[in-house]
Amino acid sequence: MSTLLPAPLAAFLGTIGLAFIIGLELHAYRRRGSANLAPEALGFGTTRTVTLLAALGFVLWIIAPILPFAIGLGGLSLFLLLDYRKRMKSGDSSLLPSIIGILAFTLGPVVLTAPLAVLAALVILILLSLGEQAQIRRFSDAFPAEEGVTFAKFFILAGLIFPLLPDTAIPFVAGITWVKVWEAVLIISGISYLAYLTHRYVFPSAGTLLTGVLGGLYSSTAATVVLSRTMRAGPAGYTPAAIVLATAMMYARLLVVIVLLGHAGAAAVLAVPFGGLCAACLGVALLLSWHARPRNPAGATRPPGQPDDHPAIAANPLDLPVAFLFALLFVFFAAVTNLVTQHYGAGGLHILSFAVGFSDIDPFIFSLLDGKFQLSLAAITNAVLIASASNNLLKAAYALALSRRRAMLPAAGWLLATAGFSLVYALG
């Protein structure tokens, strides 16, 4: 609150100001929805009404936050119900003005008691709901029903399963708890799901290069498979560059997730090789995309992302079976790593890391970092590098086998070069 005014007065003026802005937006909303009605026929929702409702709620809360405020809220709710019945008879069935009226009445208590961030979020939500009516409706019409079910699955993962897991060590696995396993599941699922939603709804017509970037954020291997298959059925275009971009995003994603899981020491060690490889991949992708620029007869270039340059969007990565499989692989790799390190030490771990790279490396890497194995930090980070190297070998093989195009050779060759660098860096 302002230091120049008494706190109650500053809160009251803030409430009035916010209510006035909300009233202006509500009135504009009602005018847009009732273009054929005279101004006096719009019913509840004028700027003055909303502002005075906010003032009334503030005063009643100051008088006594229980009985007077509750009586006022009850009377307002009854009035809004009668107003809604009247509007329904004239063909206006929107509940939004009534809801805004109740929110305006409670705005004063929110200003007085809630953190500033909550107040800001509430006002922004109200203004967006009123001002972005057409955009929200278009999005609602285009939103597939299955996406709501998918979003509910994430709430099951985060809000139902996670709180029920005990923070105790898993038997026969060195120092890894059930909570830690599911924390990794949530972070990986969250990043993958956000990248998928960005690709599908923010950039639904994304070109090949953007597909490589977003695809690499949730699975560089899956992105390589999708892009290679697309290249086999059409022109090479920017596909080789996009595959290299997907691998660049793999390095960035692994560093971010390692930090989020609380392994800052390992991230600091890996920042040099992973950061360098990521930057080098970006440079190679830029070079490949420059050479792949299509030209028309006049010599002008066509930017990527035109209608014939849209690869298929990969399948939704967020699913309950996938999450459970990740958790199972996490525990499995932790147990195998524990067994290998006890009997064969760092040398055995290097062989295991190379073999794991030909499958899903994420659960192996995170189980390796979370476990309490009798290994140095250098041995663990070298194993991460080796796993990423063999994974790049797998992607190079996928790229060549699925595309069956000579134009894929530069990208596949670069993936082999990154694998060789990682192996030399880890074992040298």
**129-150 in b/e burial notation, b at 16+ Cβ within 10 A?**
bbeebeeeeeeeeeeeeeeeeb
134, 144, 160, 267 from 141: Cα distances, Å:
11, 8, 29, 43
Query: What is the C-alpha to C-alpha distance for residues 135 and 4, in angstroms, rounded to an integer?
Result: 41
Q: How many CA atoms lie within 13 A of 28 on its CB side?
A: 13
24, 50, 53, 295, 400 from 111: Cα distances, Å:
19, 16, 14, 59, 61
With H, G, I as helix, E, B as strand and everything else as coil, classify residue 298. Answer: coil
| Domain that includes residue 160, residue range | 145-427
Query: What is the C-alpha to C-alpha distance for residues 95 and 395, in angstroms, rounded to an integer?
Result: 53
The answer as to whether 407 is a domain residue is yes
Q: Which of 118, 139, 160 is the last residue of a domain?
A: 139
Query: What is the C-alpha to C-alpha distance for residues 74 and 192, in angstroms, rounded to an integer?
Result: 45
Predicted TM-score (pTM) of this structure: 0.64
Is the same domain home to 111 and 230?
no
Residue 392 confidence (pLDDT)? 94
Q: How far is CA 210 from the centre of its chain?
A: 16
Angle between helices 264-291 and 208-218 (to 10 degrees): 160
DSSP codes joined into one string, 79-143: HHHHHHHHHHHTT----HHHHHHHHHHTHHHHHHHS-HHHHHHHHHHHHHHHHTHHHHHHHHHHS
- How many residues does this entry show for the chain? 428
CB 80 within 8 A of CB 104: no
Residue that is written with structure tokens 């699922």 in the block:
189
Query: What is the C-alpha to C-alpha distance for residues 242 and 227, in angstroms, rounded to an integer?
Result: 8
The answer as to whether 420 is a domain residue is yes
Residue 144 confidence (pLDDT)? 65
Residue 280 confidence (pLDDT)? 95
Is the same domain home to 124 and 206?
no
Query: What is the C-alpha to C-alpha distance for residues 190 and 198, in angstroms, rounded to an integer?
Result: 12
Is the same domain home to 228 and 362?
yes
Is the same domain home to 114 and 159?
no
**Phi/psi-derived region of residue 91, left when phi > 0, alpha when psi is between -120 and 50, beta in every other case:** left
Angle between helices 377-403 and 320-356 (to 10 degrees): 100
27, 99, 336, 337, 340 from 344: Cα distances, Å:
74, 66, 12, 10, 5
Is the same domain home to 124 and 189?
no
Tokens of 292: 């792949």
Q: Give the closest residue to 105 by CA, choosing from 63, 43, 50.
A: 50
Query: What is the C-alpha to C-alpha distance for residues 394 and 162, in angstroms, rounded to an integer?
Result: 33
Is the same domain home to 196 and 58?
no
The answer as to whether 2 is a domain residue is no
Q: Which of 122, 139, 156 is the last residue of a domain?
A: 139
Residue 283 confidence (pLDDT)? 94
Q: Which of 104, 139, 174 is the last residue of a domain?
A: 139
- Per-residue pLDDT of the chain in tens (428 residues, 90 and over written 9): 445 678 888 889 989 998 899 888 887 877 766 554 444 444 566 788 889 999 999 999 988 778 888 898 999 889 888 888 887 877 777 788 888 889 889 998 999 888 888 888 888 888 888 877 666 666 666 666 666 676 777 777 777 788 888 888 777 776 678 888 888 888 777 777 777 777 676 766 557 788 788 878 877 888 888 888 878 776 778 889 999 999 999 999 999 888 888 888 889 999 999 999 999 999 999 999 888 776 544 444 444 444 345 555 555 555 667 777 778 888 888 888 878 887 787 788 889 889 988 877 888 888 888 777 777 888 888 999 999 999 999 999 989 998 888 889 999 999 999 999 999 999 87
Is the same domain home to 301 and 379?
yes
CA dihedral 101, 103, 108, 111 (to 10 degrees): -150
The answer as to whether 186 is a domain residue is yes
Tokens of 303: 């930017």
Q: Give the closest residue to 367 by CA, choosing from 415, 407, 331.
A: 331
Is the same domain home to 49 and 182?
no
Could you say which DSSP state residue 92 is in? -
Tokens of 417: 């070069």
Counting the structural domains of the chain, the total is 2
Is the same domain home to 269 and 176?
yes
CB 278 within 8 A of CB 252: yes
The answer as to whether 258 is a domain residue is yes
The answer as to whether 1 is a domain residue is no
Is the same domain home to 172 and 106?
no
Residue-wise pLDDT for 246-263, tens only, equals 999 999 999 988 888 888
The answer as to whether 221 is a domain residue is yes
CB atoms within 10 A of CB 236: 17
Residue-wise pLDDT for 387-419, tens only, equals 999 999 999 998 999 888 888 999 999 999 999
CB 227 within 8 A of CB 208: yes
Residue 282 confidence (pLDDT)? 94
Is the same domain home to 159 and 38?
no
The answer as to whether 210 is a domain residue is yes
Is the same domain home to 118 and 179?
no
Tokens of 208: 């090949």
Residue 301 confidence (pLDDT)? 45
Residue that is written with structure tokens 């992607």 in the block:
395
CB 209 within 8 A of CB 238: yes
